[in-house]
Structure 1
Amino acid sequence: MLKKVDITDFVLENDKRKSHIQLFYQVFGQPIGDDPIVLVNHALTGNSNVSGEKGWWKNVIDYDHIIDLNKYTVIAFNIPGNDFERKNELALDYKEVSTLDIAKLFWLGLEKIKIKSLFALIGGSLGGGISWEMAVLHPNRVQKLIPIATHYFASDWVIANVGIQDDILNQSQNPVAVARKHAMLLYRTPQSINQRFKNAKEGNIYTVNDWLSYHGILLTDRFSLNAYKQMNYLLGTINVVKNDFNLNAFLKKAKLEVYAININSDLLFQNDLEEYEILQEDNENFKHYIIDSIHGHDAFLMEYQQLNDILKQIF
């Protein structure tokens, strides 16, 4: 069931002011009280519905699963503007909002429901970037940070692809569907697609193109154009290291534990794995894991055995 908190007089990173923002969220597992709190930040096309019959991460979060709802209180906010059940349009120019703004909003939302600290802060892709932003804002309020299939800043490659998506969304006759088809080729890999479709046809139509069209139609049915513009733009704003912020120095001082999980075939977040190894060598509280998969960025939604094996060490 969706719940709501109201945030008033919010100042954006660009110094513009928003008088009222409705922040919707869901709670799973144990009621808010004495049990450890896990905050889950959703990805670009995700939402707060992380568990249950239609939960997009039910293979990870459920009763007697890795994130066990018998033990934890799991909370998930909807990123304002994500259009989940058409309940939270942000009513701003989509290019005015950053992941830092969303991180600040989520902390304000937690304060509204009387939560001061988190046992774990976890998110994949865009949600992982927002998790980095939240942890850097208030490291003493987070015990375990778990960013998955993401990075702590948007690379030029990510920014360039966000720009192409934005062009499609503003210029195409069928913007959401076409943008989604392009995005799917970033979320998977040539090896994954070639292995799956093998030049198969149904009549005169290649099966791979039929699959892309299906994903385009599916997203069009549940995502407004404004929502897709907003979520896509946010992806390119991830950046905790602006203004000469030194992540290595931060990790040395911070008490939070970081468990970064990446995918070796990720075409979207092609991170410098050597950099992660250096961070791990320099900081006892930083652990780095790699999911081995041919499926690319979406492997965090596909390789559940590997992901759960990693998460089992954390939870």
Structure 2
Amino acid sequence: MKKLAKIELYQFLLENGKTTPFLPLYFETFGQSLGSAPVVVVNHALTGNSTVTGEKGWWNELIGIGKVIDLEHYTVIAFNIPGNGYDGILGNLISNYQDFTVRDIARMFWQGLHELRVQEVFAIIGGSLGGAIAWEMAVLQPTSIQYLIPIATDWKATDWVIANVHVQEQILQHSTQPIQDARQHAMLLYRTPMSINARFKRAVVFPGVFAVERWLSNHGEKLRDRFRLSAYRLMNHLLKTHDITRQRGTFAEVIQSIQASIHVVGVDSDLFFTAVENRQTVQDAQGFHAQIQYYEIQSPHGHDAFFIEFDQLISFLQPVFHTHKQLHYVNIQN
């Protein structure tokens, strides 16, 4: 893992009116030095982190030298959601997770960018929870982003998302092996019956144990070994707090404020943030925002397709990043 950098946030006022005396905001940068190239902010998903490329990079297929987000032409900044535990310091975990919202995280990220003297951003991109944060960042600074690219997410948490977050919370509170069990349940949302049935075909690994059962157990054990319970609770909770219209007005009013070109990417088989909701979002927005486009990943794999169907995702992103990579430059305050 690349050495993490840190910005210290003091007396941060949360959306609910409470103040957090101190929060460390850890991040990594990749590619060109700050101030010399357009900035791309990459927001991680629920179990992700700031290592978006390089050794153990979770989006290496998209970010790197010669990749669609080309590190020869861009500066990539990736923040860790405070409390995700990626810094490895137990004292930085958050116990009062229910006090935090996606909007709070978006405000923290903007404060971090301003501490780095970044006032304008070429693109903000993220999948799932990371895409929800991207939506909020765009509303908070509606004239500071050229491209908003939310993937496998939506501008709000639907009742379906809230219901599943509730079930996850119940598992995390009451299970004797909370991370493992919550992760196994989540995997059934992130994939689809078609994907799982095609992969395992009712195979048995040894008497009485199906291959699919072992696969789920392995996912649970892997997450248990690298994720803290308080971090999982925070990330899960954040998913239900997302709504760019809360205390702001109608969707039409809010979407009109965003000056960025919006590129929404859905997944046709997503069981979590459904493609139907994504299509409706774009349809509703088109009367109020001229620069919004919709792309849909075709995949049997469901929500996790944005980690799998890289060729399709690259084809959607290429017009943004390759056409414009030498034409746009970020403004840095002196």
Instruction: State the TM-score bracket (shorter-chain normalisation).
Output: over 0.9
In the TM superposition, what whole-angstrom CA distance separates every residue of 1:108-152 from its partner, at most 9, and x where no partner exists?
111111111100001000000001011001111111000000000
The equivalent of 1:286 in structure 2 is 292
CA distance in 2, matches of 1:173, 1:118: 44
Q: Secondary structure at the match of 1:288?
A: strand
The equivalent of 1:221 in structure 2 is 225
Instruction: Please tell me the residue identity of whatever aligns with 1:12.
Output: L
Q: Of 136, 143, 147, which aligns to 1:144?
A: 147
- Is the deviation greater in 66-75 or in 91-100? 91-100
The equivalent of 1:184 in structure 2 is 187
The equivalent of 2:165 in structure 1 is 162
CA distance in 2, matches of 1:241, 1:301: 29
Q: Of 201, 211, 214, which aligns to 1:210?
A: 214
CA distance in 2, matches of 1:66, 1:308: 6
In the TM superposition, what whole-angstrom CA distance separates every residue of 1:228-283 from its partner, at most 9, and x where no partner exists?
00110011111102236223333334321110101011000124223423423553
Unaligned runs of 5+ in 2: 322-334
Aligned 8 A contact 1:277 1:288 in 2: no
Instruction: Please tell me the residue identity of whatever aligns with 1:106.
Output: F
2:72 matched to 1:70?
Answer: yes
Instruction: Please tell me the residue identity of whatever aligns with 1:188.
Output: R
2:133 matched to 1:130?
Answer: yes
- Scaled by the length of structure 1, what TM-score is found? 0.97
CA distance in 2, matches of 1:3, 1:244: 34
- Scaled by the length of structure 2, what TM-score is found? 0.91
Instruction: Please tell me the residue identity of whatever aligns with 1:9.
Output: Q
The equivalent of 1:52 in structure 2 is 54
Instruction: Please tell me the residue identity of whatever aligns with 2:85.
Output: D
Q: Secondary structure at the match of 2:35?
A: coil
CA distance in 2, matches of 1:94, 1:292: 35
CA distance in 1, matches of 2:61, 2:219: 21
The equivalent of 1:312 in structure 2 is 318
CA distance in 1, matches of 2:6, 2:164: 33
The equivalent of 1:61 in structure 2 is 63
CA distance in 1, matches of 2:106, 2:198: 38
Distance verdict in 2 for CA 1:220–1:139, change over 3 Å: same
- Taking only the aligned residue pairs, the percentage that are identical comes to 46
Distance verdict in 2 for CA 1:112–1:256, change over 3 Å: same
Root-mean-square deviation (Å): 1.3
Aligned 8 A contact 2:85 2:92 in 1: yes
In the TM superposition, what whole-angstrom CA distance separates every residue of 1:154-189 from its partner, at most 9, and x where no partner exists?
000000100100000010000000000000000000
CA distance in 1, matches of 2:289, 2:100: 32
Q: Of 80, 83, 100, which aligns to 1:81?
A: 83
Instruction: Please tell me the residue identity of whatever aligns with 1:236.
Output: K
Instruction: Please tell me the residue identity of whatever aligns with 1:201.
Output: V
In the TM superposition, what is the alpha-carbon distance from 1:90 to its structure 2 partner? Answer: 4.3
The equivalent of 1:231 in structure 2 is 235
CA distance in 2, matches of 1:275, 1:102: 23
Instruction: Please tell me the residue identity of whatever aligns with 2:144.
Output: R
Q: Of 296, 302, 312, which aligns to 2:308?
A: 302
Instruction: Please tell me the residue identity of whatever aligns with 1:139.
Output: P
The equivalent of 2:327 in structure 1 is none
Aligned 8 A contact 1:280 1:288 in 2: no
CA distance in 1, matches of 2:251, 2:113: 25
Q: Of 153, 156, 163, which aligns to 1:153?
A: 156
CA distance in 2, matches of 1:183, 1:310: 27
The equivalent of 1:250 in structure 2 is 254
Aligned 8 A contact 1:176 1:216 in 2: yes
Unaligned runs of 5+ in 1: none
In the TM superposition, what is the alpha-carbon distance from 1:299 to its structure 2 partner? Answer: 0.3
- Is the deviation greater in 275-284 or in 66-75? 275-284
2:112 matched to 1:106?
Answer: no
CA distance in 1, matches of 2:121, 2:95: 30
Aligned 8 A contact 1:5 1:22 in 2: yes
CA distance in 2, matches of 1:279, 1:198: 42
Instruction: Please tell me the residue identity of whatever aligns with 1:97.
Output: F
2:102 matched to 1:95?
Answer: no
Instruction: Please tell me the residue identity of whatever aligns with 1:242.
Output: R
Q: How many residue pairs get matched? A: 315
